[in-house]
Amino acid sequence: MRKISFVVPGILLPLVLFLTASCCFHKSNAGGQNGSGAFVTGHYRNLFAENGHSQTEIDAKVNEAFQQLFHGDPKTQAVFYYSGSNSNGALAYITDIKHHDVRTEGLSYGMMIAVQMNKKAEFDALWNWSKTYLYHDSPAHPSYVFFSWQAKTNGVTMSEFVAPDGESYYVMALYFAANRWGSDKGIYNYKEQADELLTNMLHRAIIKGQISSLRRNTNSVQTVSAGPLFDAQHKMVLFSPSTERPPFTDPSYHLPAFYELWARWGPAADKDFWMEAATNSRDFFQRAANPTTGLTPDYANFDGTPATNGWTKSPSVFRFDAFRTAGNWSVDWSWWAKDPRERKLSDKLQSFFESKGMDTYGCQFTLVGKQLDDRHAQGLVAVNADASLAATNPRSKEFVEALWNTPTPDGLERYYEGLLYMMALLHCSGEFQIWSPQ
């Protein structure tokens, strides 16, 4: 059953905002185990409405963006494509237009968007494609019971490695689907599929074997050992479960808002782990974010320092993965309101981007704020608006309005930019919600 959303009359809005801001002074985890956010209150802020836009305008903007990205012109607008069918029904993928591939990141984001928009046909087709082409069912394979993170649009695998952000969004989307639509049979038994994947993310045994990847059209094979997608000692998500390099994490993979739900809806034996993982991720955000700019690196060690393990030549850099981190801590505040420090992070981050020019800031920076790329990326504009869910400074309204005035991404960059944009529209309209069990 969906949490109840409350519409705040405009005349009462200043009082509501004052009371909301006042509550930020409570200690972390105030309000008990369930916090005091939307999970408890059922209220999801509609930041567009707070900026004066009508509900009719907001609904139209959200629906038009979905229509363009999922069913628009296939050459210039869409990222979603149907690709035949099998015994489980229709198949569809979401493709990175620029790189001509399909990624678990995009497939799982697409499923999350679909369940929030009540688009069951698109959801099922994306899940069917994922299970058909990317799922590993061989017990001898290091990626057993997980998904290859990258493939061609015809389903041919490009990399058999696992990217845990995809699995995380798959699990959350499946739980929401089970709670919104009910579970069916086989791969559409959403609850069963989510429980199995979540259990394996935490407990799958280490398997040593060969993993292949396609590099410059040449098949490369590596022998690796790989196990769970979370580090048991630090209770944090891994960038990769494979042992081709020392373990590290990705700040944008940390999703404490999801972990709280997994603790409640997933296998009961793992409740304590997920509750602790949520707390650890909140603490990690504080260590990973620059204390002045609020920027986080793409890759980090478990102590929050930038990863220096050879994966990236410039570890102290905010790049494309890192776009998402502020959205993760801000949604966590919106849903749970357990850690007021997240509000300070959003204020720091938005202060930094405001200083770079609201209409002109670039998309890649050193963590101390030196700009490395002048492109004003629509996806970053989108996530910076998400940060307003937690921000306290009045400038946050400017970031919401910047998203409102940004057109739906099209052309070469429309995959990543478009998916972040679509999810931000849902977050900022109060329509990206928790779907609880009936």
Active site residues: 105, 321
User: Which tokens in the block code for residue 191?
Assistant: 């609850």
Q: Which two tokens stand for residue 129?
A: 């494609």
Give the N- to C-terminal CA distance of the chain in Å, as an integer.
5
Sheet containing 317-318: give its strands across.
317-318, 364-366, 371-373
397 by Cβ neighbours in 10 Å (0-12 / 13-18 / 19+) ranks as middle
407-416 as b/e, with b when 16 or more CB fall inside 10 Å? ebbbeebbbb
Place of tokens 């969906």: 2
**Sequence-ordered list of residues with C-beta below 8 angstroms from that of 341, at least 6 positions apart, any chain:** 28, 282, 285, 286
Among the listed residues 183, 14, 186, 166, the one whose alpha carbon sits nearest the alpha carbon of residue 103? 166
Q: Give the Cα separation of 14 and 30 in Å (integer).
A: 23
DSSP 125-186: HHHHHHHHHTB---TTSTTTTSB-SEE-TTS-EEE----HHHHHHHHHHHHHHHHHH---SG
DSSP tag of 412 = G
